[in-house]
Amino acid sequence: MNPNALRADLEARLGRSLAPARISPAGGGDINRAVKLEAADQTLFVKYNRADRLAMFEAERRGLEAMAATSTVRVPRPLAAGRCGDIAYLALEFIDLRGQPDPAALATALAAMHACGADAFGFDGDNTIGSTPQSNRWSDDWLEFWREQRLGAQLRLGAQNGRFGRELLDSGARLGEKLAGLFGAYRPRPALLHGDLWSGNWSADGAGRPVLYDPACYYGDHEADLAMMELFGSPGARFFSVYHEHFTIDPGYDLRRDLYNLYHLLNHANLFGGGYAAQSLAVIRRLQAVL
Ligand code: ADP
């Protein structure tokens, strides 16, 4: 990454000077690397990766814009995305992130975002979950959406890359055919989801307000976001009690939590291998036992 070229590219896109443009490494996440760029009147957080990852950043930008448009929760404002030499990048407003937000404030903000709906399930364009492509074709039928574009997509990927054994593939396909049994009378409505809400993707700003970032947005069952919040860590009991005040949780949630998190376990199995395939199979067996 050439810092001078990045600065020039950003200045051209934004149409203003970023002087003195002090650029320093800002760590990075699981997927991308990042720099902090300090201009006179604004600080930018610039995520970058190989040049062929521009579509991933454009999709993240659309997700952040959709979340920002709800005016319910703070997200880093996307400023520009583009290619520069051998990198693709996404420039965001830099936010001084500081630990955990008040769980009640996080619950209220997330419930308000989830109250923002759409006419169907899906999103305006595909995006990625981790580095795996995530398809978001619009559908009126949540079960069909989940079966094909979430569960089915991961199973097909696992079959292609040889990471999933026959038992996992077969039992996953059988589960897909019986999804309705996990929903009873519950009829999810399309809610704007963050889509990748593990504990590393929320934090607090300097004023303690919740901030969400690094989304994989789509319109889906709000329970899918809640489920993922419990997958790797948990926002705690206070979060859930306040969320419940704003948004009733259907009694069947506990069961569907496993279904929704299965998508992320399968994705981890596809990305990292290890014990995730076995963990996925155990979840499928548990769900099949109640069907
Ligand atoms: P990745 O896409 O590689 O997972 P993230 O978007 O999660 O990267 O960012 C990595 C880390 O950088 C986050 O965990 C967070 O601590 C920090 N971060 C993310 N966005 C911003 C931002 N706009 N301003 C400041 N820090 C940020």
| pLDDT value of residue 28 | 72
pLDDT value at position 65?
A: 98
Question: Can you give the pLDDT at residue 186?
Answer: 96
Residue 131's pLDDT is 93
Arithmetic mean of pLDDT, 173-186: 96
Q: 266, 283 in Cβ contact below 8 A?
A: no
How much distance in Å is there from the Cα of 146 to the middle of ligand 1? 28
Residue 102 has pLDDT above 80, yes or no: yes
What are the residue ranges of CATH 3.90.1200.10 in the chain?
A: 103-289
Fold of 3-93: Phosphorylase Kinase; domain 1 (3.30.200)
**Closest ligand 1 atom, CA of 92?**
23
The CB of 30 under 6 Å from ligand 1? The reply is: yes
Structure confidence at residue 168 (pLDDT): 97
Instruction: Work out the average pLDDT over 153-182.
Output: 97
Which pLDDT score, from 0 to 100, does residue 110 have? Answer: 98
- Atom 6 (ligand 1) nearest CA: 214
Q: pLDDT at residue 274 above 90?
A: no
Instruction: Report the chain's mean pLDDT, rounded to a whole number.
Output: 96
pLDDT of residue 18: 96
pLDDT of amino acid 31: 85
Average pLDDT over residues 87-100: 96
The two tokens of residue 196 are 């990748």
pLDDT > 80? residue 29: no
CATH 3.30.200.20 residue ranges of the chain are 3-93
* pLDDT reported for residue 100: 93
pLDDT at 156 over 80: yes
Rounded-to-integer distance, Cα 42 and Cα 46, Å? 13
Nearest CA to ligand 1 atom 11: 29
pLDDT of residue 27: 77
196 is catalytic: yes
pTM of the model as a whole? 0.97
CATH superfamily of 103-289: Aminoglycoside phosphotransferase (APH), C-terminal lobe (3.90.1200.10)
pLDDT in tens, 108-124: 999 999 999 999 999 99
For ligand 1, say whether the CB of 94 is within 6 Å of any of its atoms: yes
In the predicted structure, residue 68 carries a pLDDT above the cut 90: yes
Q: Can you give the pLDDT at residue 233?
A: 85
Which one of the listed residues 196, 221, 225, 258 is annotated catalytic? 196
Q: pLDDT tens across 180-208, in order?
A: 999 999 999 999 999 999 999 999 999 99
pLDDT above 90: residue 30: no
Give the residue, by CA position, lying nearest to ligand 1 atom 9.
Answer: 29
